[in-house]
Amino acid sequence: MLCSSLPLSGIRRRVMAHSLVAALSLVAPMAQAEDAPAATLPELSITASKPAVPLNLPNSVEGVTARQIDESINSVSSAGALLYLPSIHVRERFIGDVNGGLAMRMYSYNASAGTIVYADGLLLSNFLNNSCCPGPRWGLVSQESIDRVDVMYGPFSALYPGNSVGGVVLMTTRMPVRFEARIKLDTFGENFELYGTDKNFTGTHGTATVGNKLGDWSFRVSIDHLDNHSHPTDFTPARAKSGAAAVPGQYTEVTGAQFDVDKANKPRVTTAAISMDHTVKDDAVIKLAYDFSPTVRATYTFDAWQNKSDKSIDSYLRDAAGNTIYGTTTAAGLYRYVRINGKDYSVTAPSISHAESEYHLHGLSVKSDSGGTWDWELTASTFNQNKDATRASSGNFGTTSSTEATAGTITFADGTGWRNLDLRGDWRSEGNLKSRHQVSFGFHMDAYTTKSDQYALGAGNWRTSSAGALSTNSRGETSTQAIYVQDAWQISSELKLVLGARQERWEAAEGSNYANGTNVSYRDSSVSAFSPKASLACQVSGAWAVRGSYGRGTRFPTVGELFKNVGITHVGGGPATPAEIAGFPAPYNVALTNDPNLKPETADSWEFTTERFLENGVWRTSLFGEEKKDALISQTDLTTLPGYSISSVQNVDKVRAYGIETSFQASDLWVRGLDLSGSVAYIHSRIVKNSLNPGLENTWVPLVPVWRAALSGIYHASDDLSYSLGWRFSGRMHDGLFNTTTRQYPDPNPNVYGGRSKFSVFDAKVLYKFARQWSASVGMDNIGNLKYFTLYPYAQRTFFASVKFDY
């Protein structure tokens, strides 16, 4: 809905204006209609950048501007811009993490196919899978290029695909109106202490941008470079030997092992830190625009992103002579076992890896923005993983490091990618933005392709040897075509009704798996879905507005959910043997696969929102919920192969969730210059019906916290100096599904490595403009040095320092 000029007194600063723009969208057309009563509030003056949300939007919206990001965010990634927005969390374990899954309200970061991220209308979300790994392609957008970020909650607009069931993130980057240039340098570091690791991990980041507008042409060229050493994100456990103790000559006594209890409260011995990621990333963007007229602009974007990642290890084990011990072997000898405090253990030697990636994104949009009777838009994009290769060593034993391994694997994902096309028109009945009807209609097409091949490495060193025999592969394509229509009808000055519908047809094709020496191909499949939408908004008074919304979102299976290799185990534990697998019915007798016949999940969502416009801010409260049928959840199927369990993505009959969220934004709160925003949300999410595993009924959905909250305050001591303090909180959630055998959840002890912690974290930043074109900042994230985990550890106390030149 349209941004309002309906006034709010006292808002002279632009801080928090983004949220006011979104909140006032409800009452805008009402206040501007010809028969609207005179406003009772003083005039509002907002200088925030223009939001990217459509004018007839029926969703709740929150946002953040470039200046707010600059004043309150330490993280240098584009994902960091979302840090304090309501009910949002990005699983960014360290700066440069490519596995930064997005969580929104009732959708976890492992449900990435239920949320959408766009940058200037170009898709960043990775719908090749439904997982944190990898997450949206945050690296394709430099934080310094962001003009604003807007977040829409729920599937209530017909303009977006069914992946919007959780919400939509719209990033808008700036285009210059005159010559501009910017250079920024950042440095950051943490001292990380966990188990036997106590080291400093540091990184640097730099970005440079130049742009100009010359007549009808405008351009922006930006380069972004990141070089970061991350803390270890994983650790190697030891496995106790069963039976009698090892005889002399079959073990080596070692020291340095670390002892604690795991998420299930079972004793654990940790022997090495692994996955310390040295990542070097470069991102170059060329953005070129041409104005055919004052209302029609064409924009072309080319983005080239490359990354080199080296994951190293640090074994804690030392023998009597002080030599580092990396692992044990199955062969007889001194390294058959290691003896720790009188007990014998096996230790898998930790693997190291080297990955190189190069991705290209092309985007073209042609858009009219006249505000008259007709407007239209064409957006097309293509994303391709031109190069994606990961080498991993097999590890070693004894005193031989994994760096010297002669065996390993290499995995190629070259050619994986997606294509998108959107055509949209807008018709306004009275030929202006105050029209009683604004009808949006359009066509959408997308196509996703996955290619993944893993080979055993041939003879020689794992870093240089060529690919040998094929181990596994996955192939598959999905595509969706959709048409939609939506009418925003201004019934009266107080009432606005938005009605919409989306018809989609989805297809899966060319699906295949290779495993156990056999290739299996799957038949093509298709399904159609109809998704109605409705929203009614009412301006109760000059200070109060309410809105009720309903929307159906249909989320189709990803190629990863359909065609990824999975495993089969005995109900009592342990993998099925090759002989057992050979006796299974097809396709389980040849290749272990996911279900290529998965059905789409359908969510019927609702939201009731009230908004209270204050003298210098806005307060929003939303009740929301959804009932999801055929939910796509990774679980154990106990019915397909009696005596065996198949752990894979499966359709769960029904999942129900609901919650309440309240948020506020205010400027000049209590004292002039103090701007505050905050939110609190409660979520209740349960499996209601599950015919494949009935014991899971009435249990929690994994990775959805019961509580989530955020608070961000910015104090402007002067026009040149600001201080910010932020707080992030996430409550209890479960790591996995309820265990129907033990009758408990898998994580009674969640706040340890391997668990999913609740956390309460504080961040701070000081920004000072010390000359007309120069500014500098210092900051600290996780001030209290909390050790918290998302299975893997998050960053501990981290220091930041930046300097920027802005012309």
pLDDT in tens, 612-665: 999 899 999 999 999 999 999 877 665 666 666 666 788 999 999 999 999 999
Give the pLDDT mean for 501-510.
Answer: 95
Q: How many other CB atoms sit within 10 Å of the CB of residue 772?
A: 9
Give the distance, in angstroms, between the CA of residue 185 and the centroid of all CA atoms in the same chain.
Answer: 25
Q: Rounded to 5, what percent of the chain is helix, strand, coil? A: 5, 55, 40
- Whether 330 has a pLDDT exceeding 70, the answer reads yes
3-state secondary structure of 175: coil
Kindly report, residue by residue over 20-36, the tens digit of the pLDDT.
333 333 333 333 333 33
Q: How many other CB atoms sit within 10 Å of the CB of residue 545?
A: 25
d(CA 451, CA 413): 5
83: left (phi over 0), alpha (psi -120 to 50) or beta: alpha
The pLDDT of residue 566: 60
The pLDDT of residue 131: 84
Reading the block at residue 101, the tokens are 């899954």
Kindly report, residue by residue over 395-454, the tens digit of the pLDDT.
788 998 888 888 899 999 999 999 999 999 999 999 998 899 999 999 999 999 989 999
d(CA 96, CA 92): 8
**28 and 21 Cβ atoms separated by less than 8 Å:** no
The pLDDT of residue 742: 86
The pLDDT of residue 17: 40
More confident position, 42 or 758: 758
- Whether 44 has a pLDDT exceeding 70, the answer reads no
Give the pLDDT mean for 545-549.
Answer: 97
Residues 6+ apart with CB under 8 A from 770: 720, 776
**48 and 21 Cβ atoms separated by less than 8 Å:** yes
The pLDDT of residue 40: 36
What dihedral do alpha carbons 102, 278, 394, 560 form, nearest 10°? 20
**491 and 497 Cβ atoms separated by less than 8 Å:** yes
Q: What secondary structure letter does DSSP report for 581?
A: H
The pLDDT of residue 573: 56
Residues 6+ apart with CB under 8 A from 648: 566, 593, 594, 595, 634, 635, 637
Percent of the chain with pLDDT over 90: 74
Kindly report, residue by residue over 87-120, the tens digit of the pLDDT.
999 999 999 999 999 999 999 988 889 999 999 9
Residues 6+ apart with CB under 8 A from 379: 121, 122, 363, 364, 365, 367, 420, 421, 422
The pTM of the full predicted model, rounded to 2 decimals, is 0.89
- Whether 491 has a pLDDT exceeding 50, the answer reads yes
**656 and 627 Cβ atoms separated by less than 8 Å:** yes
- Whether 381 has a pLDDT exceeding 80, the answer reads yes
